[in-house]
Amino acid sequence: MVEDDGDLRFAVSAALRSEGLAVDEVADLPAADEALFVTGYDCVVFDRTLPSGDAIDYVDKLRRAGRTVPVLFLTARDTVADRVAGFAVGGDDYLVKPFAVPELVARVHNLCRRSGAARPPVRRIADLEIDTARRQVHRGGVLLILTRKEFAVLELLAARADQAVPRAELIEKCWDEMAEPSSNVVEVLVSQLRRKLGDPPLIHTVRGVGYRLAPLTTGRA
């Protein structure tokens, strides 16, 4: 989230986090450049007019460098010419201020789903069914009530089913820069997920690496 208005940045980031998304916040383009250099994001939200310049020029440079991260421009500049300019440099979406927060959240979710390889709307692992569009999880036909963060972790594990997902990647994708890597947030959440998913266990610990979602009973559960 690249926005120089601190109150707006905080409010939008809080709304996105409440939907289970990990959000990093910066106030200017140099900080955005540094964040994009070290982290792979599913979506970037840019205010257009920043103290360090017009985000359109920055996104144009990103695209010319081959960067394909989905971009949403969030701005008070509302003319047709402004919107056309945003799309012309490779912006994927354009939302004019003032805006409805639920609409922004929906647009960000859409761009996050668009990034990377196409994701199937429903994933199935054994008798577990994960509906990514409705954000619902069933096991053995029974609806499970998960928190947004639990859903985010399960969705990432399901996207890499049968593969070990490193703990560091879970933190990067499902939390944000405020999460302390040495804390036990991942372990606590995985433990909660295991209890909700029930038996036979589907989430397995890969020692020294992270976790794997698979219809296996081998390994630690």
CA distance 48 to 45: 9
Query: Mean pLDDT per segment of 10 residues, for the chain of length 221 residues?
Result: 92 87 90 86 92 92 88 91 92 92 91 65 88 86 90 89 89 71 83 94 92 70 44
Establish if 219 belongs to a structural domain: no
57 and 150 both lie in a single domain: no
In a domain, 108, yes or no: yes
Residues 102 and 12 in one domain: yes
Residues spanned by the domain of 24: 6-114
Q: Domain with 134 in it: what CATH number? A: 1.10.10.10
Q: Assess whether 100 and 143 both reside in one domain.
A: no
Residues 145 and 75 in one domain: no
Say whether both 26 and 44 belong to one domain.
Answer: yes
Give residue 218's pLDDT: 44
Write down which residue in 71, 88, 114 finishes a domain: 114
CATH at 80: 3.40.50.2300
Predicted model pTM? 0.60
211 within 8 A of 170, measured Cβ to Cβ? yes
Gyration radius of the chain over CA positions: 19
Indicate if 103 and 143 belong to the same structural domain: no
Distances (CA, A) of 106 to 100, 110, 207: 10, 6, 37
Shared domain check, 147 and 64: no
* Residue 47 and residue 103 in one domain: yes
Output the pLDDT for position 197: 94
1 lies in a domain? Answer: no
Structural domain count, the chain: 2
Domain endpoint, select from 92, 114, 136 = 114
Which pLDDT value is given to residue 114? Answer: 74
Q: Is residue 202 part of a domain?
A: yes
Q: Which pLDDT score is estimated for 177?
A: 59
Q: For residue 26, give the DSSP letter.
A: B
Question: Which secondary-structure segment (H or E) carries 36?
Answer: helix 29-38
